């Protein structure tokens, strides 16, 4: 039975015709096995080709027939060295795949400067077959535009996962280090297939215990599994660990004993894990300890840890998600207010990890104003993969368009074309240390992600971390072909459905720039009326500000002036209600119910129309899916169908609850053409 375990690395037999063609391009496999990475590359090619073509090409030392596949680095293979390929531009992790003639025979070469680049190339080659791409005239080369491409697991040591909707943590701490479950290897293969090269194992709301010798041994066992796949392990560090584990009275970063404690801890870690990646830190946010507890800045805290890790090549990923009711007038301003003044104060091995928007992974937010505002600091992107605010496991919401929208947004920091992607890949301000993090949606569910379609969000995160300028549609197409089928009658409608799914969710949850209307705490389902939370800025009413006059959060110069955090041309645009993109209208402005929208209709009319469209879109998605019965296995087909039914019911719940509540304030009738909620 199909259970989704294989993700997009299914390698099921290809259609006969296709397989015949590919077999003639896979007659021999010439590949070393002198290193662990070479060995896993060989195994992956044998597994993939064997699965798709019915048999893996025999291993060989020399090209003796047309259709050989030659894999390796110039350093490890004299055969490849003799080809004198120009590999300079490939860097450490890049690869080329080329159809060439070797010894008078047609061959395909997969070459990198290092083993890991070759592994990435092998996955790309397999993807070509998985997506039915021709392989007879290949001339491809690729290398990542971003250096640190990590998954952040919000996994707790007790096996629970914060904001996880796919079962318990996959890290089975009780059985580690002695039982490295095969699942860890599959996890590493999966990540390597999309270029993920780092994993933060534990929740940013960190438990200090992860830094004890007992746990570090377990962490080392995982690092051993991941290493051949080019994946480094990182840990979330609790800033007060010197107190909790070291018995010190303080965690003040200026205290020499504190510094010594971290140095000793780092030595201990590197002894067990020589390629340890470094620390992720959530400090002075949502009650977590941090340098500000001692009157120090975020830079003081980050630099202290960075100095400890620098000699070993480690980095610090310091989060800018600070949230402490410090800006009672507008929570959206806090990260910028705290970090912008520190630009230029961070060590070279510090990455500031910035959430895509100023608040918290909403269905739609404007890009964070920190992007472009800290030219002397390396900023990395943090996207959420797990759908905390987007329907958890069941709603079909492909996040590619959300990622793409943020990355292609223009910060105007150095004039037109200063996109967020250029901040993230370091090209805007010439930074060598760059990164993208995705907050993982992986759990111990058989299908890893809570639903088959959620797997696409893991997939697209990896692909966009590798190259932040890629098209989310093309990535979706690859994913559908690899995960389901190459049948165009299936691929096209499913890709279209995925591409529209995020906008549908925006429409039925939080259209026109509304945000944080989810039930407080669990963040599932509508609660725009909710004012029960103790802290004002956890209350949905704080964000919608709906009253009898209108709706929306005034962040213009007449309100919180959050717009002033953007570069002047963007600030001017967002400050003006007429120039603000309507999709962000209520994020930046409090607007009267009868305000005329670009369509000529009133805001009230448009609001109702968006909620209604959202539901219509989900109905359309169900309809699309209904027509696709029979193209894929019944197990996965039926679960997606059942989940779409849940999504439709809940989209209606969102629409009806939100319209009813807002109507109680607007006192406007439902516009003509919209039937009252059933």
Binding site for ligand GCU (CB under 6 A): 162-163, 204-205, 282, 321, 360, 388
Report residue 550 as tokens: 């209108």
Give the span between the Cα atoms of 156 and 164, in whole angstroms.
11
**Whether the Cβ atoms of residue 521 and residue 515 lie closer than 8 Å to each other:** no
Q: Is 365 a catalytic residue?
A: no
Helix (H) or strand (E) run with residue 608 in it? helix 603-626
φ/ψ of 592, rounded to 5, equals -60, 150
Choice among 252, 360, 507, 554 that is catalytic: 360
Return the number of the residue (227 or 282) whose C-beta is nearest ligand GCU. 282
Return the number of the residue (360 or 405) whose C-beta is nearest ligand GCU. 360
Return the number of the residue (335 or 651) whose C-beta is nearest ligand GCU. 335
Report residue 431 as tokens: 């930074």
CA-CA-CA-CA torsion sign (479, 485, 488, 492): negative
Q: How far is the CB of 37 from ligand GCU (least distance, A)?
A: 33
Bridge-based pairing of strands 379-384 and 435-439 is parallel
- Residue 409, CA atoms < 13 Å, CB-side half-sphere: 24
Q: How far is the CB of 204 from ligand GCU (least distance, A)?
A: 5
Choice among 286, 549, 594, 633 that is catalytic: 286
Give the span between the Cα atoms of 87 and 534, in whole angstroms.
59
Q: How far is the CB of 408 from ligand GCU (least distance, A)?
A: 24
509 CB-near residues (< 8 Å, 6+ apart): 363, 389, 390, 517, 518, 526, 614, 654
Q: For residue 73, what are the CA distances in angstroms to 28, 304, 385?
A: 18, 39, 34
Q: How far is the CB of 154 from ligand GCU (least distance, A)?
A: 7
Count of beta carbons in the 10 Å neighbourhood of residue 596: 12
Q: Is 86 a catalytic residue?
A: no
Q: How far is the CB of 382 from ligand GCU (least distance, A)?
A: 8
Return the number of the residue (323 or 566) whose C-beta is nearest ligand GCU. 323
Return the number of the residue (163 or 422) whose C-beta is nearest ligand GCU. 163
Return the number of the residue (520 or 671) whose C-beta is nearest ligand GCU. 520
Give the span between the Cα atoms of 410 and 392, in whole angstroms.
30
Return the number of the residue (97 or 305) whose C-beta is nearest ligand GCU. 305
Count of beta carbons in the 10 Å neighbourhood of residue 257: 12
Report residue 81 as tokens: 């060295």
Q: How far is the CB of 163 from ligand GCU (least distance, A)?
A: 5
Return the number of the residue (162 or 582) whose C-beta is nearest ligand GCU. 162
* Closest of 474, 213, 170, 517 to residue 363, by C-alpha: 517
Which residues, in sequence order, are bridge partners of residue 353? 319, 380
Q: How far is the CB of 357 from ligand GCU (least distance, A)?
A: 12
Q: Is 547 a catalytic residue?
A: no
Give the span between the Cα atoms of 180 and 444, in whole angstroms.
15
Q: How far is the CB of 165 from ligand GCU (least distance, A)?
A: 12
Chain centroid to CA 244: how far?
32
**Whether the Cβ atoms of residue 345 and residue 308 lie closer than 8 Å to each other:** no
Q: How far is the CB of 630 from ligand GCU (least distance, A)?
A: 40
Locate tokens 């095969």: which residue? 182
**Whether the Cβ atoms of residue 259 and residue 308 lie closer than 8 Å to each other:** yes
Helix (H) or strand (E) run with residue 354 in it? strand 350-355
Choice among 382, 388, 410, 439 that is catalytic: 388
Helix (H, G, I), strand (E, B) or coil at 30: strand
Give the span between the Cα atoms of 467 and 510, in whole angstroms.
29
Return the number of the residue (163 or 589) whose C-beta is nearest ligand GCU. 163
Give the span between the Cα atoms of 332 and 562, in whole angstroms.
7
* Closest of 199, 157, 153, 162 to residue 174, by C-alpha: 157
Known catalytic residues? Answer: 286, 360, 388
């Amino acid at each position: 039975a199909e259970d989704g375990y294989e993700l997009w690395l299914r390698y099921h037999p290809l259609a006969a015709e296709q397989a015949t063609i590919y077999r003639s391009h896979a007659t021999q496999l010439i590949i070393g096995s002198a290193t662990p990475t070479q060995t896993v590359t060989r195994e992956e090619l044998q597994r993939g080709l064997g699965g798709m073509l019915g048999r893996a090409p025999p291993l060989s030392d020399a090209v003796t027939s047309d259709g050989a596949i030659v894999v390796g680095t110039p350093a490890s293979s004299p055969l490849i060295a003799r080809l004198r390929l120009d590999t300079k531009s490939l860097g450490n992790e890049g690869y080329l795949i080329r159809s060439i003639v070797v010894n008078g025979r047609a061959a395909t070469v997969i070459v990198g400067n290092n083993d890991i680049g070759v592994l990435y190339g092998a996955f790309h080659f397999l993807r070509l077959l998985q997506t039915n791409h021709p392989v007879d005239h290949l001339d491809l080369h690729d290398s990542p535009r971003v250096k640190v491409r990590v998954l952040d697991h919000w996994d707790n040591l007790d096996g629970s996962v914060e904001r996880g909707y796919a079962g318990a943590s996959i890290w089975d701490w009780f059985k580690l280090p002695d039982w490295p479950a095969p699942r860890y290897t599959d996890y590493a293969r999966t990540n390597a297939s999309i270029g993920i090269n780092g994993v933060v194992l534990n929740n940013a709301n960190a438990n200090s215990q992860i830094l004890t010798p007992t746990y570090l041994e377990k962490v080392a066992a995982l690092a051993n599994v991941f290493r051949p796949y080019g994946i480094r392990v990182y840990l979330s560090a609790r800033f007060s660990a010197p107190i909790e584990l070291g018995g010190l009275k303080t965690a003040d970063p200026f205290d020499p004993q504190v510094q010594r404690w971290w140095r000793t801890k780092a030595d201990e870690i590197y002894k067990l894990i020589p390629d340890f990646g470094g620390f992720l830190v959530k400090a002075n946010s949502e009650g977590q300890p941090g340098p500000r507890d001692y009157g120090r800045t975020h830079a003081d805290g980050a630099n202290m840890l960075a100095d400890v890790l620098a000699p070993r090549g480690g980095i610090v990923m310091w989060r800018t998600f600070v949230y402490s009711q410090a800006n009672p007038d507008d929570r959206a301003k806090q990260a910028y207010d705290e970090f912008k003044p520190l630009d230029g104060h961070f060590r070279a091995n510090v990455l500031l990890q910035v959430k895509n928007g100023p608040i918290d992974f909403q269905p739609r937010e404007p890009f964070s104003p920190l992007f472009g505002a800290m030219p002397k600091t390396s900023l990395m992107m943090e996207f959420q993969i797990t759908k905390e605010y987007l329907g958890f496991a069941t709603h079909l919401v492909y996040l590619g368009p959300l990622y793409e929208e943020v990355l292609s947004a223009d910060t105007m920091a150095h004039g037109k074309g200063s996109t967020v992607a250029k901040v993230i890949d370091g090209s805007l301000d010439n930074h060598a240390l760059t990164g993208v993090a995705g907050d993982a949606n992986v759990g111990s569910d058989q299908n890893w992600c809570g639903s088959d379609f959620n797997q696409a969000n893991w997939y697209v995160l990896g692909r966009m971390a590798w190259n932040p300028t890629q098209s989310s549609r093309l990535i979706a197409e690859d994913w559908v072909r690899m995960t389901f089928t190459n049948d165009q009658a299936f691929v096209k409608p499913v890709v279209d459905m995925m591409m529209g799914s995020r906008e549908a969710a925006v429409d039925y949850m939080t259209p026109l720039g509304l945000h944080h209307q989810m039930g407080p705490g669990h963040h599932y389902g509508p609660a725009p009326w909710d004012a029960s939370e103790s802290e004002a800025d956890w209350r949905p009413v704080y964000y919608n500000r709906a009253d009898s006059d209108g709706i929306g959060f005034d962040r213009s110069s007449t309100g919180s002036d959050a717009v002033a955090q953007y570069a002047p041309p963007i600030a001017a645009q967002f400050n003006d209600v007429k120039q603000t993109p309507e999709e962000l209208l209520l994020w930046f402005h409090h607007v009267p119910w009868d305000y005329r929208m670009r369509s000529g209709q009133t805001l009230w009319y448009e609001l109702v129309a968006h909620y209604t469209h959202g539901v219509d879109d989900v109905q359309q998605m169900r309809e699309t899916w209904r027509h696709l019965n029979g193209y894929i296995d019944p197990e996965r087909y039926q679960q997606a169908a059942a989940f779409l039914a849940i999504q439709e019911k809940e989209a209606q719940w969102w629409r009806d609850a939100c319209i009813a509540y807002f109507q109680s304030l607007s006192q406007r009738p439902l516009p003509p053409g919209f039937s009252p909620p059933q």
